Amino acid sequence: MGDRERNKKRLLELLRAAGTGNAHCADCGAADPDWASYKLGIFICLNCSGVHRNFPDISKVKSVRLDFWDDSTVEFMSHNGNLRVKAKYEARVPAFYYIPQASDCLVLKEQWIRAKYERQEFMADGKTISPSGNREGLLWKRGKDNAQFLRRRFVLLAREGLLKYYTKEEGKGPKAVINIKDLNATFQTEKIGNPHGLQITYRREGHIRNLFVYHESGKEIVDWFNALRAARLQYLKMAFPELPEPELVPLITRNYLKQGFMEKTGPKQREPFKKRWFALDPQERRLLYYKHPLDAFELGQVFLGSKEQGCINREWPQQQVTHWLSNRLATGHGNSQWEGGLSSALVTQQACPAVGSHCWQSTLPRLKFGLHRPAPGASPLPSPGGGGSGTGGPQGSGHPQ
């Protein structure tokens, strides 16, 4: 066996070696990485290897299977590996800092990788990252009534639990004052049409208000995202002082479980189907629908639950939400109505619209599996005061179309 084949075999053995963490990408967790940074000593996926190529002074990459590896480089890889290197470069990652997964957008992965290896923000002997009480800067925001992005001044006051934005850079009064308690932020690069596109949502007069923003700098927009997460964690700690931090972290921000177009009828079922954009929020168990993906407000929202089980709100811990939902789907309350399709599951105040899309058929049952399992002994969601009886089906509200 030649050196090339022998070293390739050694690398493949390193990928499968137990206790090394090499079976998953060191940066995003993707399974079966087939690239490696031979300067850092880690195994990474194809997507993350593209980011590493941008700073050759710090990281140099090769394909595990296609490139030539000499003995000394393979030996270096064997003495390092993903877990050892992560212990060095991820020694002090703040709880609020978002660690991207394989399915996340490129800007999150890029800034995570640069923060670790280029800026070395999380090393044990590095400077401690603490959430700033305030943040201020300019972001490009999409207008509510048009598709124009205009520069707006945003001010985050974490200690007060507020996010404000101003239509004029030197404006005296803010256009909106957003309570951190009601805020969520999620990167929506494809929907917004910008690689740095961020969607900020909050409650406003019974509706969900969407803000679509971006910044030219990937670092700046990710810093804003993590600053909002830091403020959210600070609020959650004050709201739930009895809960340990690991239980609060999944509640900081969340992504939609699924988004996409479906066809929906109006309040009178004789009306034709119309194309609507749907977004499924697993934590609040709400299915929102819009005329267009970038609308500022939803046309309607469907609550996936019943009054007797209690209305969910963001202030309940994820553990209790998961327990309620898992029990409901497991005991047949949800299976009989949701697994066969969405038609019987969507109800507005006026009528029951039908929707059709095969790609959504399995999404609602996935709520059971898409959330973390509750710990033993977790109690179900409490019913709010005055909760009446319900039918076991979803409750809805909103406009008919």
Residue type, 337: Q
Return the pLDDT at 325: 38
pLDDT tier, 40 (very low <50, low <70, confident <90, very high otherwise): very high
Return the pLDDT at 308: 53
Q: What is the mean pLDDT of residues 58-78?
A: 95
Q: What is the mean pLDDT of residues 230-252?
A: 95
Return the pLDDT at 266: 78
Return the pLDDT at 359: 52
Return the pLDDT at 379: 35
* Contact indicator for 139, 149 with CB cutoff of 8 Å: no
162-218 confidence digits (pLDDT tens): 999 999 777 678 999 999 999 999 999 999 999 999 999 999 988 999 999 999 999
pLDDT tier, 264 (very low <50, low <70, confident <90, very high otherwise): confident
* Contact indicator for 183, 193 with CB cutoff of 8 Å: no
- What's the CA dihedral at 391, 392, 397, 400 to 10 degrees? -80
Sheet bearing 61-63, strands edge to edge? 42-44, 35-37, 61-63
Give the DSSP letter of residue 282.
T
31-40, 175-184, 223-232, 337-346: which has the minimum mean pLDDT? 337-346
| Residue 289 pLDDT greater than 90, yes or no | yes
* Contact indicator for 198, 187 with CB cutoff of 8 Å: yes
pLDDT tier, 146 (very low <50, low <70, confident <90, very high otherwise): confident
C-alpha to C-alpha distances, 331 to 46, 51, 326, 337, nearest whole angstrom: 42, 46, 9, 12
Residue 215 sits at the vertex; the CA angle it makes with 209 and 219, to the nearest 5 degrees, is: 115
99-125 confidence digits (pLDDT tens): 999 999 999 999 999 999 999 999 998
C-alpha to C-alpha distances, 135 to 52, 64, 100, 169, 242, nearest whole angstrom: 29, 43, 23, 15, 28
In the chain, % of residues over pLDDT 90: 63
Return the pLDDT at 206: 86
Q: What is the mean pLDDT of residues 1-28?
A: 90
| Residue 400 pLDDT greater than 90, yes or no | no
Return the pLDDT at 300: 92
Return the pLDDT at 304: 82
Q: What is the mean pLDDT of residues 339-357?
A: 38
pLDDT tier, 390 (very low <50, low <70, confident <90, very high otherwise): very low
- Does the pTM exceed 0.85? no
Q: Between 318 and 260, whose confidence is greater?
A: 260
Q: What is the mean pLDDT of residues 225-241?
A: 96
Q: What is the mean pLDDT of residues 18-24?
A: 95
Cα–Cα distance for residue pair 89/121, rounded to 1 Å? 8
